[in-house]
Amino acid sequence: MSKGTLRKGELLYEGKAKKVFATDHPDLIIQEFKDDATAFNAQKKGQIHNKGVINNELASHFFQYLETFGIQTHFVEKLSEREMACKRLEIIKIEVVMRNIAAGTLVKRYGFEEGVELPMPITELYLKNDALGDPLINDDHAVVLNLASPEEITFLKQTAWKINAILRQYFLSKGLKLVDFKLEFGRHNGLILLGDEISPDTCRLWDRDTNKKLDKDRFRFDLGEVEDAYCEVRNRVLG
Ligand code: TMP
Ligand code: ASP
């Protein structure tokens, strides 16, 4: 497949940060990255100028980078500034969060001091359900809720662990600490592929030397310089 041969079809789904379109190829969809930003289960809404363009660039880059390590992803091709062709997934309704440094709900829920390096990465599973506020779940919840089989859950956790090891090292080489991040996966032709996106919307990224927050927390907590942070990450990663 090459640019121009894939025709954009009907809007299948509009999420908080992306629109998903059908295509004339039954196995492929197009995800279009928006500038819209939400936080706290969409209670806070806004826009981050050019975020869609930057997140598409970054996510395309990270998917291709992870593929070189044998991580299978839904990425097919970056089609335009805001559009990415992807394999169509049956989404697994689990959000996998990996944490290296205490921040966000780890601080709120368990009393960790923000910024403390964890002695080992923590993996968490959340039920992907906005109406329920994406509650924290364990493996048994996931199986009993029929979200995934025990074998699939093991695969998700092992893959998330591997992605963390790869990206943590990579970001450090760009002067960034990978504090934590969220992954989503889906099924495609008998395989489980990494889906969604990897970007400053879904990762916490801090400057290695100053711990300056360079991610969506600047929007979530009104820290200012939101656009600048996305540009900074883009420039450090893509040069
Ligand atoms: P948390 O500390 O708020 O639980 O977030 C953990 C990581 O997951 C953080 O890098 C941000 C990311 N995340 C999302 O991508 N989407 C979400 O809806 C939430 C709550 C967090
Ligand atoms: N994107 C999420 C929402 O609006 C939350 C977040 O990223 O903080 O619900």
Q: For ligand 1, say whether the CB of 100 is within 6 Å of any of its atoms.
A: no
The alpha carbon of residue 160 and the mean position of all alpha carbons in its chain are separated, in whole angstroms, by: 11
Report CA-CA distances (Å) from 83 to 33, 51, 52, 153, 198: 7, 13, 9, 30, 15
* Distance between Cα 1 and ligand 2 center (Å): 33
Residue nearest to atom 2 of ligand 2 (CA): 39
* Distance between Cα 24 and ligand 1 center (Å): 33
The pLDDT tens digits along the chain (239 residues) read 555 689 999 999 999 999 999 999 999 999 999 999 999 999 999 999 999 999 999 999 999 999 999 999 999 999 999 999 999 999 999 999 999 999 999 999 999 999 999 999 999 999 999 999 999 999 999 999 999 999 999 999 999 999 999 999 999 999 999 999 999 999 999 999 999 999 999 999 999 999 999 999 999 999 999 999 999 999 999 99
Q: For ligand 1, say whether the CB of 203 is within 6 Å of any of its atoms.
A: yes
Residue nearest to atom 5 of ligand 2 (CA): 39
Residue 5 pLDDT: 86
What residues have CB less than 8 Å from 208, skipping those under 6 apart?
A: 172, 175, 176, 177
* Residue 170: how many other CB atoms lie within 10 Å: 16
Beta 36-39 vs 28-33: how paired, if at all? unpaired
Q: For ligand 1, say whether the CB of 175 is within 6 Å of any of its atoms.
A: no
Token code pair at residue 229: 């942070």
Residue 114 pLDDT: 98
What residues have CB less than 8 Å from 175, skipping those under 6 apart?
A: 207, 208, 209, 236
Residue 116 pLDDT: 98
Positions of E strands within 80-144: 83-87, 90-101, 117-127, 136-137
* Distance between Cα 183 and ligand 1 center (Å): 9
Residue 95 pLDDT: 98
d(CA 220, CA 217): 5
Q: Which sign does the torsion angle of CA 122, 127, 130, 136 carry?
A: negative
Residue 3 pLDDT: 59
Q: Counting ligands in written order, which one lies closest to the CA of residue 41? A: 2
Q: Counting ligands in written order, which one lies closest to the CA of residue 204? A: 1
Q: Counting ligands in written order, which one lies closest to the CA of residue 134? A: 1
Angle CA 6–12–13, to nearest 5: 125
For each of the domains in the chain, give its residue range(s) and CATH number, in order of start.
3-87 (3.30.200.20), 90-226 (3.30.470.20)
Q: For ligand 2, say whether the CB of 128 is within 6 Å of any of its atoms.
A: no
Q: For ligand 2, say whether the CB of 41 is within 6 Å of any of its atoms.
A: yes
Angle CA 204–60–151, to nearest 5: 75
For 126, phi and psi rounded to 5 degrees? -125, 145
Q: Counting ligands in written order, which one lies closest to the CA of residue 39? A: 2
